[in-house]
Amino acid sequence: DVKVTQSSRYLVKRTGEKVFLECVQDMDHENMFWYRQDPGLGLRLIYFSYDVKMKEKGDIPEGYSVSREKKERFSLILESASTNQTSMYLCASSLMMVRHLNTEAFFGQGTRLTVV
């Protein structure tokens, strides 16, 4: 069974704090993704990574950074948390896309972050 595990289900942080959201997958997937989910806006891609130490900006990278030092772990960092970063954060992983090889993204359970 594929597992994507996010370190916290609920998190409350203060404005200005540095926040780390951790994600670990156990299926040796090359790709990992971080999204934030807000009502009416769906899932918006923050950053993704297709290999160790590689990272690509998604659609809303401002205010965030990421780290992928090991293949199984992808961390999302809020350098200085702000109230507009209060949201649900979802991590996902997948294989590289190869024709004839069925692939899908597997998701963690989500972290609901509140910044006060």
Partner 1 sequence: AQTVTQSQPEMSVQEAETVTLSCTYDTSESDYYLFWYKQPPSRQMILVIRQEAYKQQNATENRFSVNFQKAAKSFSLKISDSQLGDAAMYFCALYTGTASKLTFGTGTRLQVTL
Q: How far is the CB of 74 from partner 1 (least distance, A)?
A: 13
Please answer whether residues 35 and 43 qualify as being in contact, where contact means their C-beta atoms are separated by less than 8 angstroms: yes
11: contact with partner 1 by CB under 8 A: no
Q: Could you give the CA distance from residue 104 to residue 52 in angstroms, rounded to a whole number? A: 20
Q: How far is the CB of 97 from partner 1 (least distance, A)?
A: 4
Q: How far is the CB of 44 from partner 1 (least distance, A)?
A: 8
Binding mask 20-59 for partner 1 (x = CB under 8 A): ----------xx-x-x----xxxxxx--x-x-----x-xx
92: contact with partner 1 by CB under 8 A: yes
74: contact with partner 1 by CB under 8 A: no
Residues that bind partner 1 (CB under 8 A): 30-31, 33, 35, 40-45, 48, 50, 56, 58-59, 88, 90, 92, 94, 96-99, 102-105, 107, 109-110
